[in-house]
Amino acid sequence: MIDQALLSQIAIGLYKGSFYWLLAAGLTLIFGVTRIVNFAHAAFFVLGGYLMYSFYVLTGSFLLSLITSLAATGLLGALTEITLIRRIYGVPSIYQLLLTFGVTLILNDSQKLVWGKFPKYIDVPGYLKGSIQIGAISYSYYSLLLVMLGFLIFLLLHLSINKTMWGLKVRAVWRDPSVAQTLGINPKKLYTMIFLIGTALAGLGGSLIVVLHPVGPGLGDHLIIYAFIVVVMAGLGNIVGAFVVSLLVGVLSSIFAWLIPEVDILLIYLIAALSLLVRTGGLFGER
């Protein structure tokens, strides 16, 4: 009996972990290539959720709203890169962090201005309702979709960076932007591209989460910490690490939350503090 309960906690953990992964993927990609710690990442994530809500209310089509909201968030991210972040690539990282913090403040208040103070959510579309029975564990189609989508994005990201020509350019810029430039690669264009992809991933995550979890003011402040913890624990800029750590944190926190319910919110910070005390550079980082 205990095994069944444990298994279902692992299943919930995997779903929670996929959610962390969708949040952390863009952040770690952006950091890995541009070395910018994008504080506004969670604000873009929340924006994706809000946009999804509005498009869904407007059109009634789940897939169409998903694509529109993903694209809109990505474009806004690229626009932010072109207008603001491009000016601060050379400066000490604390300023980069603060600039994106300023962007966060602006995004938060604009969202409050447009969507009000009350959280928004949408219902699971009809064809995704219902659940699947694996052994004694019941898994809703929607969370199963989320887990699979998370894995698919991981594969796509990993393969496109390690196996394609475009990925080779990304890795070249990551190693040394000025040498890459001498080889005819335009780092500026690539950075904008990376921001587009990174924030679009955040928009995707936000759009998917608004179905299960109400999106409202203050959610971004909460999520950015989770994202940072996952990314730093994994080793900054490490995509494989971020995927594994996201799932690990998701599974561990749901198992412990089930065993000792009182420690619920303490847990992620405890995991982060312990793992960083043991291994400074993150679990998958270079030491």
98 binds other proteins (CB under 8 A): yes
Cβ within 8 Å of residue 191, ≥6 positions away? 33, 34, 81, 86, 89, 173
User: Is residue 105 near other proteins by the rule CB under 8 A?
Assistant: yes
Q: Give me the least distance between CB of 137 and other proteins, in Å please.
A: 30
Is 272 a binder of other proteins (CB under 8 A)? yes
Helix (H, G, I), strand (E, B) or coil at 265: coil
For residue 224, the SS3 value is: helix
Name the residue nearer to other proteins (CB basis): 232 or 248.
232
Rounded alpha-carbon distances, angstroms, from residue 266 to 61, 202, 215, 248, 269 = 39, 25, 22, 16, 6
* CA distances (Å), origin 286, targets 148, 175, 228, 241: 29, 14, 17, 11
Q: Give the one residue of 5, 57, 64, 106 binding other proteins; rule: CB under 8 A.
A: 106
Q: Determine if 93 is a binding residue for other proteins (CB under 8 A).
A: yes
CB 51 within 8 Å of CB 72: yes
- Single out the segment in contact with other proteins by CB under 8 A; choices: 55-63, 179-187, 191-199, 270-278: 270-278
Binding letters toward other proteins, positions 221-260, x by CB under 8 A: x---x--xx--x---x------------------------
Residues forming beta bridges with residue 139, ordered by sequence position? 132
**Quick one: which of 60, 102, 116, 130 contacts other proteins (CB under 8 A)?**
102
Q: Using CB under 8 A, pick the residue from 7, 84, 124, 193 that binds other proteins.
A: 84
Residue 142, interface with other proteins (CB under 8 A)? no
Q: Quote the CA–CA distance of 180 and 133 in Å, as a whole number.
A: 51
Q: Quick one: which of 112, 130, 146, 161 has its CA closest to 12?
A: 146
State both tokens at 7: 């298994």
Q: How far is the CB of 135 from other proteins (least distance, A)?
A: 34
At which residue do the structure tokens 């394609």 appear?
A: 164
Q: How far apart are CA 121 and CA 249, in angstroms?
A: 25
Is residue 95 a contact residue for other proteins (CB under 8 A)? yes
**Which is nearer to other proteins, 10 or 230 (by Cβ)?**
230
The residue (of 70 and 99) whose beta carbon lies closer to other proteins is 99
* Contact set for other proteins, span 16-55 (CB under 8 A): 37
SS3 state of residue 133: strand
In whole angstroms, the minimum distance from the beta carbon of 281 to other proteins comes to 7
User: Which backbone phi and psi does 27 adopt, to 5 degrees?
Assistant: -65, -45
The verdict on 104 binding other proteins (CB under 8 A) reads: yes
Q: Find, among 43, 53, 73, the residue nearest to 210 by Cα.
A: 53
Our finding on whether 280 is near other proteins (CB under 8 A) is yes
Residue ranges binding other proteins (CB under 8 A): 37, 84, 87-88, 90-95, 98-99, 101-106, 108-110, 112-113, 221, 225, 228-229, 232, 236, 262-263, 265-266, 269-270, 272-273, 276-277, 280-281
